[in-house]
Amino acid sequence: MTRTALITGITGQDGAYLSQLLLEKGYTVHGTARPSSTDNFWRIAPFLDRLHIHRADLLDQGSLIRLLDRCQPDEVYNLAAMSYVPTSFEQPLLTGEVTALGVARMLEAIRIIKPDIRFYQASSSEMFGATKDQTQDETTAFHPRSPYGIAKCYGHWTTVNYREAYGIYGCSGILFNHESPLRGEQFVTRKITLAAARIKLGLQEKLFLGNLEARRDWGYAADYVQAMWQMLQQEEPSDYVIGTGQQHSVQQFAEMAFEKVGLDWKRYVEIDSSLLRPTDVVNLCGNAEKAKERLGWTPKVSCKELAEIMVEADLARLSPKDQSNVST
Ligand code: NAP
Ligand code: F7E
């Protein structure tokens, strides 16, 4: 029988990769988009005609209840969130409403409408924040460093609590940074790859960055949505860290991206102190042993390959057809 999935935040990076994966697996795929004057469908445009899009907002309990009643999904992937850390410092209360309480609203809707739904919560390595541990796994203590990280801790523990209190099949996927050509342009990897491509093509002169020393475990979004799906196929629900186990600094990522277009990053990157955060996270590196053992999940794409994929995609997007042979 055809399975039905609902993805909140289907218009985002992960929503696009996950919907593609679920369509390939034969699911009927529903997704939420916020009511707005301009649709943000560019990531899902290639297969939009195969998706069922509903207007719903994590801020509005009634819209979520009606949504579940209409779709009757077997699986819900809660990807919607205010996901950009700097904005969470500017709008901490809105971040809490969407990224924290939004999870409780979705789980309440599940409890009321269809408690046998399998639920995936998009948790984040930002919950580890100021951790002193060199690598982080499911047992590492949380010490969030932003309103976003704090809100994700609430979402994580709410998922755990609904599992323990009401027997809901809820999984919290603690995903480390994952990127792709579909990444929003404000996140540092895409900001860098887009700038490297633009500078190569003579469309930009400088790239302004903040903290070059911050270190992240960067993986490929297409690999990570596979793990989301696998989590919901297990007999018992659980929480999983998903990461590559490899760490690079922002500076190293810039080196790799500029190298791809044959340029020396040092000539183009400048520091803009206004991009520094009130508190930053400087040392994240995931230990995904549990996911490897129980799900058989391993990452396929290295950080260097990822930087190259992203630069290539940005070059292709920016290049007029007759310049598609720009030397890389
Ligand atoms: P993204 O590209 O920023 O997408 C976020 C999605 O949430 C968008 O579809 C957005 O819709 C939607 N949204 C925002 N506010 C909403 C609201 N009030 N009601 C309903 N929808 C709302 O994020 P992503 O990179 O795909 O990440 C997916 C999820 O994983 C997020 O929860 C993020 O916090 C989490 N996460 C991401 C990473 C990562 O490295 N990418 C790592 C760990 C966890 P609009 O199109 O209308 O803005
Ligand atoms: O920053 C530093 C910045 O904004 C990474 C979200 O998907 O992953 C993401 O959150 C690092 C930080 O991602 C710039 O200070 C330097 O240390 O790309 P980012 P993030 O904050 O790690 C987690 C796992 C999520 O869950 C989030 O939703 O890069 N950095 N210079 C900069 N960052 C930005 N954005 N822009 C700069 O110019």
CATH code of the domain covering residue 127: 3.40.50.720
Same domain, 203 and 136: no
Q: Which residues approach ligand 2 with their CB closer than 6 A?
A: 83, 85, 124-126, 176-177, 186-188, 191, 209-211, 214, 216, 250, 275, 277, 280-281
pLDDT tens readout for residues 230-287: 999 999 999 999 999 999 999 999 999 999 999 999 999 999 999 999 999 999 999 9
Give the C-alpha separation, 80 to 82, whole Å: 7
Q: Which of 157, 143, 165 is nearest to 281 (CA)?
A: 143
Supply the residue whose CA is at minimum distance from atom 9 of ligand 2: 177
Three-state DSSP class for 85?
helix
Same domain, 22 and 47: yes
Tens-of-pLDDT digits for all 328 residues of the chain? 899 999 999 999 999 999 999 999 999 999 999 987 688 999 999 999 999 999 999 999 999 999 999 999 999 999 999 999 999 999 999 999 999 999 999 999 999 999 999 999 999 999 999 999 999 999 999 999 999 999 999 999 999 999 999 999 999 999 999 999 999 999 999 999 999 999 999 999 999 999 999 999 999 999 999 999 999 999 999 999 999 999 999 999 999 999 999 999 999 999 999 999 999 999 999 999 999 999 999 999 999 999 999 999 999 999 876 444 433 3
Judged by its nearest atom, the ligand closest to the C-alpha of residue 136 is 2
Residue 295 within any structural domain of the chain: no
Same domain, 68 and 211: no
Same domain, 267 and 136: no
pLDDT tens readout for residues 110-123: 999 999 999 999 99
Give the C-alpha separation, 266 to 263, whole Å: 9
Distance 189 CA to ligand 2 centre (A): 8
C-alpha pair distances (Å), 62 with each of 57, 103, 112: 9, 14, 11
Residue 288 within any structural domain of the chain: no
Of the candidates 120, 148, 220, 240, the residue annotated as catalytic is 148
Residue 267 within any structural domain of the chain: yes
User: CB atoms < 10 A from the CB of 201, how many?
Assistant: 16
Same domain, 259 and 212: yes
Distance 98 CA to ligand 2 centre (A): 19
Same domain, 155 and 226: yes
Three-state DSSP class for 119?
strand
Same domain, 308 and 269: yes
CATH code assigned at 192? 3.90.25.10
| Structural domain harbouring 198 | 184-217+246-283+301-325
Residue 82 within any structural domain of the chain: yes
Three-state DSSP class for 257?
helix
Q: How many CA atoms lie within 13 A of 219 on its CB side?
A: 27
Judged by its nearest atom, the ligand closest to the C-alpha of residue 34 is 1
Distance 11 CA to ligand 1 centre (A): 8
Three-state DSSP class for 53?
strand
* Domains held by the chain: number: 2
